Amino acid sequence: MPRRASKELRPRQKAMLEFIRKFIEDHDYPPTIREIGAAVGISSTSVVNYNLDQLEQKGYIIRNREVSRGLRLVDSSFTRRTQNIPFYGEIAAGSPIPIPEDTANVLEYVAVPSDMLPGSGDVFALRVKGQSMIDALVDDGDIILVRSQPQVETREMAVVEILEPPEDAGATLKYFYHHGDRIELRPANPDPAYQPIFVSPEQVRVHGKVIGVIRRYQ
């Protein structure tokens, strides 16, 4: 276990440490570098990194630089076991957008508390682009956790790829409704700019069911 140095923390480092503690207490997962910087008034990510390195050297935190939100507190009752989940990029909460041609090319990994994940099945993460699901408490910039599965039930929130026509092709995040010979992809936003999409079952491919949301810090 890292050993704390006797040297006092600087005020900025104390503020960062207190923010990290409070953030984990409130959200059950650690903040990002940008969230830490915004909270203590530091715009430079390199300056935030420097001070996090100091906290690590002094034994207050442990960092995993390979994953987003990859830090934890030492000797803290707020820390939880996490798993690294593949992050594939953006998903549209609005008009469909193209999906990566090869999802084997993982952009990065996201550290997710283990108790947010199902007991079985593959899970991946996407960042939401748009506000069509805002009434479902999914906002622009949030990260959704998706269990990979080829089918979902009516009223479940799903990641769905529209295959045709080509001009409408792409992936979108919507509530999924079965209506016999057609599928409705329904938004959760009363703004008339967001309209449901109706397609035949042959025109869509389900990529998975949304099982969790990691809310960005304001």
Q: In a 3-state reduction of DSSP, which class is residue 60?
A: coil
Quick check: helix, strand or coil at residue 209? strand
Residues known to be catalytic? 132, 174
The span from the CA of 81 to the CA of 170, in Å, is: 35
CA angle 21, 23, 27 (to 5 degrees): 125
| Alpha helices per DSSP H over the chain | 11-27, 33-40, 45-57
* DSSP E strand boundaries for the chain: 61-63, 67-68, 71-73, 82-92, 108-113, 123-129, 143-148, 156-162, 170-179, 182-186, 197-199, 204-214
- The tokens describing 110, both together, are 């996201």
Q: Are 214 and 143 in contact (CB under 8 A)?
A: yes
